[in-house]
């Protein structure tokens, strides 16, 4: 019996993913647990394993971007033909190999044969959550748009404008904003999902290196090998059936062509004039979320100078006293993380989220901290920061930052932040205006450590200071409470012994 291979939903916020590379050629027999594909999401790249055994038959090509929960392939018995129209993303049925139904996964995917599920309605919203329906124009099964009091559709003005310009029935769009509110990026995602469902062709057979039929290789790997100047015949293949994977190229030491003569990857950290950087993957997610953040919130920023002499002095002592121990010496940012968390205890309105029914003050204090990575940034999350001793915060922040830069971080480690700290001090920046992550009401920016001056008895005294940049949502927090929060952070940094435990 044919078993569906569905695009998994990795993390709570994933709505679509790109099949970076098929790791298994068409027609290859695989076992449960074998890696089938390399999946690129908005946050991480992961290998997806087979959940059952069978002969693998993909139905979308490498490089395609499809919604979470979409059908991307089949695992067949010997001699069995794939059922249904090839290349048509479709939802998993109940109990289908343990995969979630598209409603649970938040996917917008076509129904098999264009039929609406039993009990669904095509007459618009029904209550707060609705019962969903089928859009005959797009072929998509979608939950009904949520409504608030009096049946008012929960959608931002910009989302309504984008939907009107694109000719989209906004009641067919699934909202991901607070309380299920539809924001503009939801309409854009709906349009992208519709296009992907309509255009996904049958996956081509894996390409083979000319003149050497025993080395199967995907078009992506072929292109990367050409850009890096790597002779594929010299690469040790680790994929199924001797297939060369992207990781095999990464393992090459580069002796076949000197590094100085290899062309740089266009997808690297140094774009060249004339390049077009697509708004997909991580870059696309950053663009959509930051744009939505500035449209949905009333953001403004306070700048506040804090004294860091005591922190710098304490850190120097810890470096000396902990030199022979396994305790990690906290960085300046680690001190800032702990101070920010303790200050949130005293100022709970800064640790909140705005929903349709009001401002919800959150009991947990989970801090995200921005980490620059090639092509964008990630925000790993440390949970319950106020409860952790400073050495543990240092240990976790270091491990998470390293995992993010190496591409080994999991989606779970990027979720759940109630407040964010971001630093540009290492780039020589003093003051800036960080943009709030959607779902939070504030973000704290950290500037560079620099010399300051304090006048004592009419004599100048050298100090060490930095500037904090607190951006807050004026819908939830007023200017004076935001300033009080900054003052509390500054007081904690003046007497940093309290931050150690």
- pLDDT for 442-470, tens place per residue? 999 999 999 999 998 889 999 999 999 99
Please tell me which residue, 337 or 283, carries the higher pLDDT value. Answer: 337
Helices (H) and strands (E) in the chain, counts: 10, 22
Instruction: Could you list the beta-strand ranges (E) of 356-418.
Output: 358-361, 367-369, 371-373, 376-378, 381-382
- Cβ–Cβ < 8 Å for 3, 74: yes
Q: What angle do CA 105, 108, 112 make, to 5 degrees?
A: 100
On whether the CB atoms of residues 232 and 249 are closer than 8 A, the answer is no
Mean pLDDT for the stretch of residues 221-227: 70
Q: Structure tokens of 227?
A: 């850009």
Query: In the prediction, which pLDDT does 99 show?
Result: 36
Residue 363 CB partners (closer than 8 Å, separation 6+): none
Instruction: Tell me the Ramachandran region of residue 125: left when phi exceeds 0, alpha when psi lies from -120 to 50, beta otherwise.
Output: beta
Which of these, 416, 415, 417, 421, lies nearest to 444 by C-alpha position?
421
Exposure string (b/e) for 126-164, b if CB count within 10 Å is 16 or more?
beeebebbbbeebbbbbbbbbbeeeeebbbbebbeebbe
Nearest-angstrom CA–CA distance, 237 and 362? 50
For 436-442, what is the mean pLDDT? 95
Q: At what angle do helices 390-406 and 332-346 cross, to 10 degrees?
A: 120
Using an 8 Å Cβ cutoff, are 173 and 142 in contact?
yes
Mean pLDDT of the chain: 78
Of 21-30, 84-93, 319-328, 428-437, the poorest mean pLDDT is in 84-93
SS3 state at 346: helix
pTM for the full predicted model: 0.58
Q: How confident is the model at residue 372 (pLDDT cuts 50, 70, 90)?
A: very high
In this predicted model, what pLDDT tens digit does every residue of 315-364 receive, in sequence order?
Answer: 999 999 999 999 999 999 999 999 999 999 999 999 999 999 999 999 99
Name the band, by pLDDT with cuts 50, 70 and 90, for residue 158: low
Q: How many CB atoms lie within 10 A of CB 276?
A: 7
Hey, which residues does 75 pair with through a beta bridge? 3, 56
Neighbours of 395 (CB within 10 A): 17
Take residue 171 and report the two structure tokens written for it.
């009641």
What are the tens digits of pLDDT across the range 93-133?
333 333 333 333 333 333 333 333 333 333 333 333 333 44
Contacts of 394 (CB under 8 A, 6+ apart): 328, 329, 330, 331, 334
- Please identify which residue in the block is written with the tokens 């319950």: 384
Higher pLDDT, 25 or 98: 25
According to DSSP, the residues that pair with 450 across neighbouring strands are 465
The band of 304, judged by pLDDT with boundaries at 50, 70 and 90, is: very high
C-alpha span between 24 and 55 (Å, rounded): 10
């Amino acid at each position: 019996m044919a078993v569906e291979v569905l695009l998994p939903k990795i993390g709570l916020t994933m709505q679509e993913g790109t099949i970076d590379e098929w790791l298994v050629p068409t027609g290859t027999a695989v076992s449960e647990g074998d890696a089938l594909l390399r999946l690129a999401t908005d946050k991480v790249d992961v290998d997806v394993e087979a959940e059952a055994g069978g002969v693998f038959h993909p139905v979308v090509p490498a490089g395609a971007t499809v919604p979470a929960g979409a059908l991307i392939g089949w695992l067949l018995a010997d001699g069995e033909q794939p059922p249904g129209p090839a290349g048509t993303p479709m939802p998993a049925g109940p109990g289908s190999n343990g995969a979630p139904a598209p409603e649970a996964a938040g996917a917008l995917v076509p129904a098999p044969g264009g039929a609406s599920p039993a009990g669904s309605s095509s007459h618009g919203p029904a209550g707060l959550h609705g019962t969903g329906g089928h859009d005959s124009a797009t072929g998509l099964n979608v939950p009904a748009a949520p409504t608030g009091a009096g049946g008012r559709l929960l959608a931002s003005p910009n989302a309504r404008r984008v939907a009107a310009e694109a000719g989209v029935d906004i009641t067919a769009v699934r909202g991901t904003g607070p309380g299920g509110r539809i924001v503009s990026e939801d309409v854009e995602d709906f349009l992208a999902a519709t296009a992907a469902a309509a255009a996904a062709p049958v996956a081509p057979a894996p390409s083979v290196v000319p003149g050497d039929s025993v080395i199967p290789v995907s078009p992506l790997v072929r292109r990367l090998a050409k850009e890096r100047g790597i002779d594929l015949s010299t690469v040790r293949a680790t994929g199924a059936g001797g297939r060369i994977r992207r990781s095999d190229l990464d393992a090459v030491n580069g002796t076949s062509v000197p590094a100085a003569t290899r062309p740089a990857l266009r997808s690297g950290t140094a774009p060249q004039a004339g390049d077009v950087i697509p708004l997909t993957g991580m870059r696309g997610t950053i663009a959509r979320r930051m744009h939505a953040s500035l449209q949905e919130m009333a953001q403004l920023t306070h700048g506040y100078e804090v004294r860091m002499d005591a922190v710098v002095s304490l850190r120097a002592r810890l470096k000396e006293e902990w030199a022979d121990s396994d305790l990690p010496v906290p960085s300046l940012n680690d001190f800032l993380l702990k101070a920010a968390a303790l200050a949130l205890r005293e100022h709970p309105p800064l640790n909140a989220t705005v929903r349709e029914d009001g401002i919800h003050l959150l009991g947990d204090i989970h801090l995200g901290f921005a980490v620059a990575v090639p092509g964008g940034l990630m925000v790993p999350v440390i949970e319950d920061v106020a409860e952790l001793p400073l050495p543990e915060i240092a240990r976790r922040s270091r491990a998470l930052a390293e995992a993010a830069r190496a591409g080994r971080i999991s989606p779970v480690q990027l979720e759940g932040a109630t407040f964010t700290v971001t630093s540009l001090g290492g780039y020589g920046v003093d003051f800036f205006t960080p943009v709030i992550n959607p779902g939070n009401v504030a973000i704290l920016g950290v500037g560079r450590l620099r010399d300051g001056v304090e006048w004592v008895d009419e004599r100048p005294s050298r100090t060490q200071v930095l500037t904090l940049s607190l951006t807050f949502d004026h819908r939830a927090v007023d200017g004076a409470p935001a300033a009080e929060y900054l003052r509390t952070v500054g007081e904690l940094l003046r007497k940093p012994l309290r931050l150690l435990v």
